């Protein structure tokens, strides 16, 4: 990737931080867009040590003017070739326990932050007729789950927004590409920082994957943007296919299992701080608390990534089986 300039929102922790590291390994200039000076400084140090050029851009993606300013500063370091919309916020609680202000804030960060980032990218990429926008989605873009209604709604909205935009770009014959990466449950620090009203500590729904799995998929999507959507993790594929075929079954299953599956056995501490409206102090890594359970690789992703080779191998294998059968029949 070399001299490419990449913008990554939500770059200070979790999937965004792992993505910044992955692009740094390819020698890219990486614009680190997030809140929190300490976490951004730590991410910048990692990017530099991995061979990338970090550009720290402290801002809130919910502020379109601040995001536009950040994009302008990043372009001083070169043409933005890839824009990754990844920033997110959430509230873990039943819908009726979430306030109007909380719904608004999650929407402003998780959905409108993607819209604002996309507009920043488009205002530069369309005139040059090139560039890639990667929307970081989730299996929850198709299948809502209990206790995360604002977040699920935002991921659904991103899906619809991206499909509309893709059609518009195709209509004008644009060289700008937009793709979406649908992720499974990830081992990120968000579960320590998210606002929650659950009695027990929130957790990702197993199976859980390490953020580097997502980062590899995001880099691949940036390098191969012709594919409209990427599914990462077998659980994502099962969820999306199952929801398309039998959504009512999913409703009943999640009503029974979705509450316990999103909580550990540890109680939530009273007065626990969160990052919904302001960043938490200190430095957070790409990984969360679930390293022991998290998978470092996804076989499904590897097969998807090399699906043409896998398909050719299947054809060859079928041919060999057929030849063997004919020989035995002689």
Q: Which residues are catalytic?
A: 151
The full DSSP string for 255-291 is: HHHTTGGGEEEEEPPTT----SSSPPSS---S--S-T
Any idea of the CA torsion for 120, 126, 6, 12, to the nearest 10 degrees? 20
Residue 146: how many CA atoms within 13 Å on its side-chain side? 18
Beta-carbon contacts of 8 under 8 Å, excluding residues fewer than 6 positions away, are 16, 19, 20, 23, 30, 31, 32, 33, 84, 86
CB-based contacts of 241: which residues, under 8 Å, 6+ apart? none
The DSSP element (H or E) to which 201 belongs, if any, is strand 200-202
CA-based torsion, 122, 128, 129, 134: positive or negative: negative
Which pair of tokens denotes residue 326? 């004919």
Output the six-digit token pair for 290.
Answer: 């679930």
Angle between helices 234-245 and 247-257 (to 10 degrees): 120
Tokens of 194: 């998210």
């Amino acid at each position: 990737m070399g001299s490419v300039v990449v913008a990554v929102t939500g770059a200070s922790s979790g999937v965004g931080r792992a993505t910044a590291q992955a692009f740094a390994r390819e020698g890219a200039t990486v614009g680190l867009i997030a809140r929190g000076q300490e976490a951004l400084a730590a991410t910048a140090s990692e990017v530099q040590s991995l061979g990338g050029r970090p550009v720290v851009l402290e801002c809130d993606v919910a502020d379109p003017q601040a995001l536009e300013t950040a994009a302008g500063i990043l372009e001083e370091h070169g043409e933005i070739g890839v824009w990754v919309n990844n920033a997110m916020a959430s509230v873990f609680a039943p819908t009726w326990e979430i306030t109007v202000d909380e719904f608004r804030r999650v929407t402003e960060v998780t959905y409108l932050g993607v819209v604002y980032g996309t507009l920043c990218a488009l205002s530069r990429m369309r005139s040059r007729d090139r560039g890639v926008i990667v929307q970081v989605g989730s299996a929850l873009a198709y299948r809502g789950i209990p206790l995360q209604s604002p977040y699920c709604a935002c991921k659904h909205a991103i899906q619809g927004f991206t499909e509309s935009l893709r059609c518009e770009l195709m209509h004008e014959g644009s060289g700008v590409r937009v793709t979406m990466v649908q992720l499974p449950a990830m081992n990120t620090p968000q579960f320590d920082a998210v606002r929650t009203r659950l009695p027990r500590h929130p957790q990702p729904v197993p199976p859980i994957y390490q953020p580097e799995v997502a980062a590899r998929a995001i880099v691949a999507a940036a390098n191969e943007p012709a594919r409209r959507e990427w599914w990462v993790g077998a659980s994502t594929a099962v969820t999306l296919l199952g929801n398309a075929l039998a959504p009512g079954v999913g409703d009943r299953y999640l009503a029974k299992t979705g509450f316990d599956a999103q909580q550990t056995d540890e109680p939530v501490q009273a007065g626990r701080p969160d990052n919904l409206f302001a960043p938490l102090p200190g430095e957070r890594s790409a990984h969360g608390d679930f390293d022991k359970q998290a998978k470092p690789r996804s076989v499904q992703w590897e097969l998807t990534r090399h699906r043409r080779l896998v398909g050719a191998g299947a054809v060859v294998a079928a041919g060999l089986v057929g030849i063997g059968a004919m020989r035995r029949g002689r």
